[in-house]
Chain A
Amino acid sequence: MDSTADPKGKRPLYQEDGLAYARAAAAAASATAADEAEAKPKPKPSSSSEEAKPEPEAEEMPPLVLVAEDGVEVRISRPAARMSHMLRLLMEDSCADGPIPAPNVHSDILDLVVQYCEKHGPYYDPEASERARNPFPPFPVELTPTVSSIKPVTYVDPDPHGLKDWDKDFISLDNSTLFEVILVKRILNLLDLSSTPQDLLDLGTTMVADMMRGKKPEEIREIFEIENDYTPEQEAELRKENAWAFED
């Protein structure tokens, strides 16, 4: 949980050779060392602390400007932008100073995603989340859990910032918006194979999964507005396998 470590040491669980190359190239050609230090994600308070104060240095850095497909500019503060692995990469490479185009994304959707990141950003610690997500990593162990990160069974996540309730309200979106949000966040998370459990992507996909439970295929098609591209004969054939699951 030592977030003052060099960002190159804070790796996602699965190493991408391409990513290593990208970082090396960025570091070699970066403008000034001071610039890099300032653009680094600032150490954030641990999730168990009561107050999270926005870091003074980060506040001084201007927010990133994302430009949606309809030309509307959506601003996202640097701490919030850290929730996207992609944007983190751009910030570290000092590519994030000018407007960042986000084609295929409507400003309304982008706005929602930014809202989520702004809310969660200050409390985001990628390493703590990874351990919470996978307390029993596959052998050989690749993450050394610190004592503080292994939670006792009676541990109740304190959620001091009321994030869970906020999330519940936030994710009550209509299906179309929900899907868009999932897709956008997925792109923003790109290359971050260790995405955090409470991340907006997981929040969205969990929401979608809940909508599928206990429903028949016809009902699911209606909810998700999906066209049935099977002929009745093909569908009957499909249902013959594991017919038990389709009966009332």
Chain B
Amino acid sequence: MELCSVASIMSLGYLAIQRTHLCSLVFRVLPKLLGFTPSSLKKLCKDVDPPLTETIVGTLPELPQDVLMDIFATLEMPDFIRVGAVCRSWHSAYTSLRSLGQYKLWLCLLYTSESAGDSSACLYSLTERRSYKLTLPEPPIRSRCLIGSSHGWLVTVDERSEMHLLNPFTCEQIALPSVTTLEQVKPIFDEYGVLHKYELSWLTGRTTHYSSPLIFALDKLRDELHYKVFVFPDTSTGSYIVVLIHNPGHQISFARLGDDKWTWLPHHYLYCDCIYKDGLLYGVSITGDLHTFDLSGPTVAMNTIISIHRDDDCEYAYIVQSPSGDLLLIWRLFEDFNLEPDHGETVFWNTTKFRIYEVEAAGSKLKEINCLRDHVLFLGHNESLCLSAEEYPSLKANHVYFTDDNMLWTLGFKNNHRDMGILNLADNSKEELLSSQICSNFPAPIWITPDLRNMNLASGAAYKMVQ
């Protein structure tokens, strides 16, 4: 960096020779080294070339790259992209920041709507309170289920019940291992040898007697099998680990990018949410257990951190890491629901409350928290996020921004009203995110944190890029 070299020049060269002239030297030499020279001021004066001793008229001095980068790093993504198109020097600052990934994290709601078309997705910006439209690659996004969103990747399930990673901004798509490589799924071929159905078994590894498997059409399997997918950067390999929570029983299977099959974690089930921290996969179950899985060895080692047996099951669990590094467990309560409505009425479920616990560092104990202080939670099918409201002034502290990840909606309630909104933890009041006129119920809206960078495929990884 410039500053380092300036310091060394200043200290070694100049100090040694002329300490008494240090002051004037510093002021004369350094501006030149930093590129702020009289000539750069003159550069912008096209017609008029006033002597610099007079007040600068008309044109503004050029801001150097490091100042531009400091400014751009505070802008939200749409603004960040727009300033990159202003002129060449601004574009240069923009591309530097982008390749370093040092632009500000932008959280928006990705949804679809009939009016936008089958291959378009809309992004709702919480700050600007407006939506942007993105065109996405085939197959059409409105024909897919959205079951995950992590680190800029959307995870979709298409009409053949196959999963893909999709970056809506770079339009990269990566196929995940086939659904038939899961333990519980067998392909069924017709008389021509073409795949036309799937068989789903009840295998969990917890018992030896199972009911007979069921048969599903290609696009119907995804209504039964898939729940949530997470994409975690794996620092040891420089690639990603993809974790799938699937039925029967919300079990976990995982794969590394480049694997050709899913690896099953048997005997454990009922998981709601996962995170990956310090090389361990944490899974929180609906029964209140927190388990860790060490995926690094040839066999997976499992450990139980917390075991609380909860009886209520109209609650979903989430696990998230706060900016300060603490682990939080969150329970989402649906106290307002009707799953067996009278004729003429519809099924509904509504989130009413969240209960938040901090996992004590020593492990095995939970401490209830009544107030999130200045943090904000984003929950749903996405990888759960906890942000500091101070860094994101448009977000409301002590609020939970949630979307609908209830498994009920896949069981025949595809077009149901989505249970999503902003909940104030102080008084449990709710606010609507987007009117249901604007956003379609299927695929369900999901939070996304965009990544503008193309994935580095230089490692020659074996994953299939879908054109």
Bound state CA distance, A141 and B230, in angstroms?
30
A16-B4, A242-B452 in contact; A95/B20 too (CB < 8 A)? Answer: yes
Question: Judging by beta carbons under 8 Å apart, are B11 and A93 in contact?
Answer: no
Q: Which residues on the A side are within 8 Å of B134 (C-beta)?
A: 244
Question: Judging by beta carbons under 8 Å apart, are A104 and B52 in contact?
Answer: yes
Question: Judging by beta carbons under 8 Å apart, are A180 and B85 in contact?
Answer: no
Q: Which residues on the B side are within 8 Å of A16 (C-beta)?
A: 3-4, 7-8
Question: Judging by beta carbons under 8 Å apart, are A22 and B10 in contact?
Answer: yes
Within 8 A of A (CB), among B83-114: 83-88, 90-91
Within the complex, which residue of B3, B11, B56, B82 is in contact with A176, where a contact is CB–CB below 8 Å?
B56
Question: Judging by beta carbons under 8 Å apart, are A95 and B23 in contact?
Answer: yes
Question: Judging by beta carbons under 8 Å apart, are B87 and A246 in contact?
Answer: no
Within the complex, which residue of A19, A100, A220 is in contact with B7, where a contact is CB–CB below 8 Å?
A19
A180-B61, A182-B63 in contact; A104/B36 too (CB < 8 A)? Answer: yes
Q: Does A18 contact B (CB under 8 A)?
A: yes
Within the complex, which residue of A22, A104, A214 is in contact with B38, where a contact is CB–CB below 8 Å?
A104
Question: Judging by beta carbons under 8 Å apart, are A212 and B123 in contact?
Answer: no
Q: Which residues on the A side are within 8 Å of B336 (C-beta)?
A: none
Bound state CA distance, A191 and B70, in angstroms?
16
For the complex, count residues of A whose C-beta is within 8 A of B.
64
Bound state CA distance, A103 and B374, in angstroms?
46
How many Cβ-Cβ contacts under 8 Å join chain A to chain B?
A: 181
Q: Does B128 contact A (CB under 8 A)?
A: yes
* Chain A 95-106 interface mask (CB, 8 Å, partner B; 1/0): 110101111101
* Chain B 21-39 interface mask (CB, 8 Å, partner A; 1/0): 0111011101100101110
Question: Judging by beta carbons under 8 Å apart, are A191 and B133 in contact?
Answer: no
Bound state CA distance, A96 and B452, in angstroms?
48
Question: Judging by beta carbons under 8 Å apart, are B22 and A220 in contact?
Answer: no
Q: Does B457 contact A (CB under 8 A)?
A: no
Q: How far is the CB of B50 from chain A (nearest CB, A)?
A: 12
Q: Which residues on the A side are within 8 Å of B19 (C-beta)?
A: 25-26, 29, 93, 95
Q: Which residues on the B side are within 8 Å of A183 (C-beta)?
A: 36, 61, 63-64, 67
Question: Judging by beta carbons under 8 Å apart, are B75 and A209 in contact?
Answer: yes
Q: Does B71 contact A (CB under 8 A)?
A: yes
Question: Judging by beta carbons under 8 Å apart, are A69 and B59 in contact?
Answer: no
Within the complex, which residue of A98, A136, A190 is in contact with B30, where a contact is CB–CB below 8 Å?
A190
Q: Does B78 contact A (CB under 8 A)?
A: yes
Bound state CA distance, A25 and B28, in angstroms?
21
Question: Judging by beta carbons under 8 Å apart, are B20 and A175 in contact?
Answer: no
Within the complex, which residue of A101, A193, A244 is in contact with B27, where a contact is CB–CB below 8 Å?
A101
- Of the listed stretches A40-48, A121-129, A223-231, chain B binds A223-231
For the complex, count residues of B whose C-beta is within 8 A of A.
71
Q: Does A247 contact B (CB under 8 A)?
A: yes
* Chain B 48-70 interface mask (CB, 8 Å, partner A; 1/0): 00001101101111011001001
Question: Judging by beta carbons under 8 Å apart, are A101 and B132 in contact?
Answer: no
Question: Judging by beta carbons under 8 Å apart, are B71 and A209 in contact?
Answer: yes
Within the complex, which residue of B7, B22, B26, B86 is in contact with A217, where a contact is CB–CB below 8 Å?
B86
- Which chain B residue has the least Cβ–Cβ distance from A96? B23
A175-B60, A187-B36 in contact; A239/B27 too (CB < 8 A)? Answer: no
Within the complex, which residue of B22, B59, B133, B169 is in contact with A93, where a contact is CB–CB below 8 Å?
B22
Q: Does B44 contact A (CB under 8 A)?
A: yes
Question: Judging by beta carbons under 8 Å apart, are A229 and B132 in contact?
Answer: no
* Chain A 67-95 interface mask (CB, 8 Å, partner B; 1/0): 00110000000000000001000100101
- Which chain A residue has the least Cβ–Cβ distance from B123? A244
A190-B6, A212-B71, A247-B133 in contact; A25/B11 too (CB < 8 A)? Answer: yes
Q: How far is the CB of B94 from chain A (nearest CB, A)?
A: 10
Question: Judging by beta carbons under 8 Å apart, are A244 and B133 in contact?
Answer: yes
Identify the interface centre among B31, B52, B123: most chain A CB within 10 Å of its CB. B31
- Which chain A residue has the least Cβ–Cβ distance from B2? A190
Q: Which residues on the B side are within 8 Å of A22 (C-beta)?
A: 7, 10-11, 15
Identify the interface centre among B9, B56, B71, B77: most chain A CB within 10 Å of its CB. B71
* Chain A 133-153 interface mask (CB, 8 Å, partner B; 1/0): 000100000000000000001
Question: Judging by beta carbons under 8 Å apart, are B11 and A19 in contact?
Answer: yes
Q: Does B12 contact A (CB under 8 A)?
A: yes
A25-B16, A100-B24, A190-B6 in contact; A245/B56 too (CB < 8 A)? Answer: no
Within the complex, which residue of A18, A19, A187, A239 is in contact with B85, where a contact is CB–CB below 8 Å?
A239
Within the complex, which residue of B8, B55, B86 is in contact with A18, where a contact is CB–CB below 8 Å?
B8
- Which chain A residue has the least Cβ–Cβ distance from B450? A242
Bound state CA distance, A244 and B85, in angstroms?
13
What are 13 of the A-B contact pairs (CB < 8 Å)? A17-B11, A21-B11, A25-B15, A26-B19, A101-B27, A136-B323, A136-B324, A153-B374, A182-B67, A212-B79, A212-B82, A213-B75, A244-B134
Write the residues of chain B forming the contact surface with A, with a CB cutoff of 8 angstroms: 3-4, 6-12, 15-16, 19-20, 22-24, 26-28, 30-31, 34, 36-38, 44, 46, 52-53, 55-56, 58-61, 63-64, 67, 70-72, 74-79, 81-88, 90-91, 123, 128, 132-135, 169, 323-325, 373-374, 397, 452
> Contacts A183-B67, A221-B86 given; 17 further ones with Cβ under 8 A?
A17-B7, A17-B11, A18-B7, A100-B23, A106-B56, A179-B63, A186-B67, A209-B74, A213-B75, A214-B128, A217-B83, A220-B82, A221-B87, A227-B46, A239-B85, A242-B81, A244-B123
